[in-house]
Amino acid sequence: MREGKQVKDYYGSLVFNDGVMRERLPKDVYRAVHQTIENGSHLKLDVANSVAAAMKEWAIELGATHFTHWFQPMTGLTAEKHDGFISPEKDGSVIMEFSGKELVKGEPDASSFPSGGLRATFEARGYTAWDPSSPAFIKDGTLYIPTAFCSYGGEALDKKTPLLRSMDALSESALRVLKLLGRDDVTRVSTTIGSEQEYFLIDKEKYLKRKDLMMCGRTLLGAPAPKGQEMEDHYFGVLKPKVAQFMHELDEELWELGVPAKTKHNEVAPSQHELAPVFETANVSVDHNQLTMEIMKKVADRCGYACLLHEKPFAGINGSGKHNNWSLSTNAGENLLDPGKSPQDNRQFLVFLMAVISAVDDYADLLRLSVATAGNDHRLGANEAPPAVISVFVGDELAGVLQSIEEGSRFDGSGGSKMSWAHVLPHITQDTTDRNRTSPFAFTGNKFEFRMPGSSLSVAQPNIALNTAVAEELDRIYDVLKDVPEKELPEAIDRMLKDLLSQHKRIIFNGNGYSEEWIKEAENRGLYNLKALPDAMPHLLSEKNRNLFKKHGVLSDVELESRYEIFLENYNKEIHIEALTLLEMIRKDFTQGLVSYMKDVTNEALKKKQLLPDLPISYESDIIHTLDQTSEIIGNKIHQLRDDTDQAEGITDPLKAARYYHDVILKDMEELRFYVDKAERIIPDGYLPYPTYGQLLFSLR
């Protein structure tokens, strides 16, 4: 389909997008679908039947034989069940059928997905419901229909449903504030996001020899290679030919599916790369990011690679994040977080800016736990990612504007200056502020960049939290201003902005988030430092956060409690699997190499002594002595980890179990790894039945 065509000719060619609908649907049906997408009104069955008929014909023309309701259960992955279009006839032939009912509703088994107690094993019925705001697409001969997923009782069992609810809540709250500001022309406010996706590529054959990578997504043992990332020669470096080919094929597949993949480059760590898309409505962007991760793995496999999306696949070098660029856009395309040329005079911008800053301060615990996973705990605060303490970076210009608001003075910023480095080079206008890569939540011109999400995370989670928190702050702003006479409104807004700044300025920090000084200062400011998931998760059920989600109709109490159970259960299972995998790798793989090498060195030493009795064998003796001592410690550490893992299985309270896994099991694993890695530094690569760090990270061509 792509061969010999320009990108514009095949971009979105596998998507049932607006252009296809306009061409294939009757005008009244097209208008009805648009009304559903824009206003959230329910779609009537006759309209659904017309859409289904057109969608089926389009899909069949492109070679589709099946359809599936594509949804995002609480596994963090996507799920799908494929049904054929065929309907047998009495004469033995078949016709291709697809009804509006099949488009709108599906019935997958709801008991086999994580439900946090919402579904028992014998309670199987669940429902998927078509999301018309995210376009259907064709992949591998199947029509994929993005859907929400709920239980028989209507509780959300997925990530899409609360995301859609949070988007509606934020739009409603933003519209009320905009109406106060005289903006009757705005009928919808959408959250837009662009999720930068970091990932590693390694040789597939080497990947298949590492049980830890296959089972856990990260290396559980492995001494560092002589070279890591210290030469800073990989970041933005020349793409290796096979890697460039992978990226090219990835772009083509994503473009066919309407995913606006824009930027690609080498990242800081060896074998690490990044893809960044253009901004889209949050719901579509989340769907596209899930699709991106899936296609990355598929194309990598075809190109002879394995794609690693774990937050910390290798110790000692940078892990991978998924920077969540977030903004607010009206139905006319106006960016509400664009400060304009004179931000000090742009009250609309300042109101929304302070709403976001206030939300981050009031709900920092919620934002932190929205990105808390076993994998991300290895990354946050490791001088490569933001610290676990959440703060907001606003930059020099906005810092000046906010200071003038606080002091009641006039800000007189001059804007960016012209820069020229040599006569032949063009003049460049300097931005009014620098970028701060150490900030968890940074304003970057006309958007905020939430840098804490991990690379494997569904970005639905942080956006649900952020959308709902900002909606709440906008409601509080509305309550302050709603009864103010129009003539007095400008002064009332200025007073309110000053009050908000006084209450929330503690969250603003423009310095080095990696420094120890900041961690101490953050503690003095009263900011949270929730270092790991077991520290963060209890906050999910706090009265403040329960009330937030209930008020805005995003998550009910039972839905929130189910997520608490699921997040803790996933955390505990993940670390348990890691512990068992580490034990198996050491006993079955590492020990074989250790014993073989010790035996060979001993034999060589004996031969040497027999041939040359007077020649010292201190070198060989040192090797044997060191490995012998180390292997004894490894044996003791294995017993300790095995016993503690058995103990963990008996803890029934999920939070207590999570704390035990974090405080005891991870510590056992770290100590065991230390001695295994110490031995690996001595043992030649050829004795180990799995590839080393050097072979994994520097074998790409």
Q: Write out pLDDT tens, residues 407-458.
A: 888 777 655 556 666 767 676 666 666 677 789 999 998 999 999 999 999 9
Least confident of 101-105, 162-166, 530-534, 548-552: 101-105
Q: What percent of the chain has pLDDT over 70?
A: 95
Alpha-carbon torsion angle 245, 247, 253, 258, nearest 10: -150
Whether residue 174 has pLDDT greater than 80: yes
Which CATH number does the domain housing residue 204 bear?
A: 3.30.590.10
pLDDT at position 94 = 65
Q: For the chain, what percentages of helix, strand and coil (3-state, to nearest 5) are there?
A: 50, 15, 35
b/e for 651-662, b at 16 or more Cβ within 10 A?
A: eeebbebbbbbb
What angle (nearest 5°) sits at the alpha carbon of residue 293, between those of residues 287 and 295?
100
Domain assignment of residue 565, yes or no: no
Whether residue 121 has pLDDT greater than 60: no
Alpha-carbon torsion angle 354, 359, 362, 366, nearest 10: -160
pLDDT at position 383 = 67
Report the C-alpha gap between 320 and 430 in whole angstroms: 29
Report the C-alpha gap between 499 and 311 in whole angstroms: 39
Report whether 80 contacts 33 (CB < 8 A).
Answer: no
Give yes or no: residues 182 and 152 share one domain. no
Give yes or no: residues 134 and 194 share one domain. no
Instruction: Give the full edge-to-edge strand order of the sheet including 261-266.
Output: 261-266, 272-277, 197-203, 305-308
What is the average per-residue pLDDT within 598-612?
87
Give yes or no: residues 536 and 587 share one domain. no
Report the C-alpha gap between 85 and 671 in whole angstroms: 56
pLDDT at position 430 = 64
Q: What single-letter amino acid sits at 41?
A: S
Q: What total number of domains does the chain contain? A: 3
What is the average per-residue pLDDT within 87-105?
81
pLDDT at position 386 = 86
Whether residue 536 has pLDDT greater than 90: yes
Domain range enclosing 48 = 7-158
In this predicted model, which residue has the larger pLDDT, 126 or 591? 591
Give yes or no: residues 197 and 295 share one domain. yes
For residue 4, what are the contacts with CB-CB under 8 A and spacing of at least 6? none
pLDDT at position 91 = 74
Give yes or no: residues 418 and 292 share one domain. yes
Could you say which of 557, 578, 605 is where a domain stops? 557
Report the C-alpha gap between 696 and 675 in whole angstroms: 21
Highest mean pLDDT pick, 120-124, 483-487, 610-614: 483-487
Whether residue 640 has pLDDT greater than 90: yes
What is the average per-residue pLDDT within 92-98?
76
Least confident of 121-130, 217-226, 345-354, 471-480: 121-130
Among the residues of 311-459, which ranges form H helices? 347-362, 364-370, 374-377, 395-407
Could you say which of 513, 531, 557 is where a domain stops? 557
Cα end-to-end span (Å), the chain: 28
Give yes or no: residues 273 and 416 share one domain. yes
Whether residue 38 has pLDDT greater than 80: no
pTM across the whole model: 0.94
Give yes or no: residues 353 and 490 share one domain. yes
Q: What's the whole-number average pLDDT of the chain?
A: 92
Domain assignment of residue 564, yes or no: no
Report the C-alpha gap between 21 and 31 in whole angstroms: 10
Give yes or no: residues 103 and 180 share one domain. no
pLDDT at position 699 = 85
**pLDDT band at residue 89, thresholds of 50, 70 and 90?**
confident
Domain assignment of residue 201, yes or no: yes
The tens digit of pLDDT for each residue in 273-297 reads 999 999 999 999 999 999 999 999 9
Could you say which of 112, 128, 158 is where a domain stops? 158
Whether residue 370 has pLDDT greater than 90: yes
Which CATH number does the domain housing residue 680 bear?
A: 1.20.120.1560
pLDDT at position 489 = 95
Give yes or no: residues 489 and 544 share one domain. yes
pLDDT at position 421 = 61
Domain assignment of residue 347, yes or no: yes
Give yes or no: residues 253 and 364 share one domain. yes
Question: Exposed, middle or buried by CB within 10 Å (0-12, 13-18, 19+), for 415?
Answer: exposed
Domain assignment of residue 24, yes or no: yes
pLDDT at position 124 = 67
Domain assignment of residue 2, yes or no: no
DSSP line for 1-43: --TT--HHHHTTTTB--HHHHHHHS-HHHHHHHHHHHHH-PPP
Q: What is the DSSP letter of 587?
A: I
Which CATH number does the domain housing residue 110 bear?
A: 3.10.20.70
Give yes or no: residues 110 and 195 share one domain. no
Report whether 303 contacts 310 (CB < 8 A).
Answer: no
Give yes or no: residues 199 and 249 share one domain. yes
Q: What percent of the chain has pLDDT over 90?
A: 76
Domain assignment of residue 562, yes or no: no
Whether residue 602 has pLDDT greater than 80: yes
Domain assignment of residue 563, yes or no: no
